[in-house]
Structure 1
């Protein structure tokens, strides 16, 4: 059995390689059958909106929109509630399959049995 994986990405497009790495690891874990939850915090919160991942490009990297869609399709993608509020993002703005949740939800996920948590 593959244990659950919770990933928090704390940067946006200003740190392209770190951002891309978080999505790449999340997608690889989804492909391996893991229960994956990817949290978008700070400037990464924008990537829960339509069109934002499509604007991102990094040489030799899988398109971010493709990685994002794989996470939505096989795991969970969450935008931090405080980060969303600071940016004026509401549930209606988000892509289908993306949710807004707060610290209590994150803590509940990372404190689950056998969970591996990573922060990028």
Structure 2
């Protein structure tokens, strides 16, 4: 799963987190990548959206982290001055080659929001 939307597009961002958390809760192996403005969701205190009738992003992020992985795009992190020390426990920073490797695996379904 790849989330490219930040708080400027709350519905699209929330959809990505909701699908990722739902898949994790169902037992699927989930890898959530945060790119662009979505990178901020991996920073403590920044995982929030003002979206009526939506589960808080911080709760969805925590669910994904219990059974899956959360990765921030390395270029996106660099442009925002973020390092792994700035991220929530369990989130990592990796580059495009790792994303490509993950989505090209047999039986993998990549979903981008």
TM-score after normalising by structure 2: 0.98
- Say whether 1:87 aligns with 2:68: no
Query: How far, CA to CA, are the matches of 1:37 and 1:86 in structure 2?
Result: 22
* Runs of 4 or more above 3 Å deviation: none
Three-state SS of the structure 2 residue aligned to 1:78 is strand
Which residue of the other structure, out of 99, 104, 109, is the alignment partner of 1:111? 104
- Say whether 1:52 aligns with 2:37: no
Native 8 Å contact 1:76 1:97 kept in 2 = yes
Q: Which position in structure 1 is the counterpart of 2:11?
A: 17
Three-state SS of the structure 1 residue aligned to 2:110 is strand
Paired positions, count? 113
Q: Where do 5+ consecutive residues of structure 2 fail to align?
A: none
Q: Where do 5+ consecutive residues of structure 1 fail to align?
A: 1-6
Give 1 or 2: higher strand fraction: 1
CA-atom RMSD in angstroms: 0.7
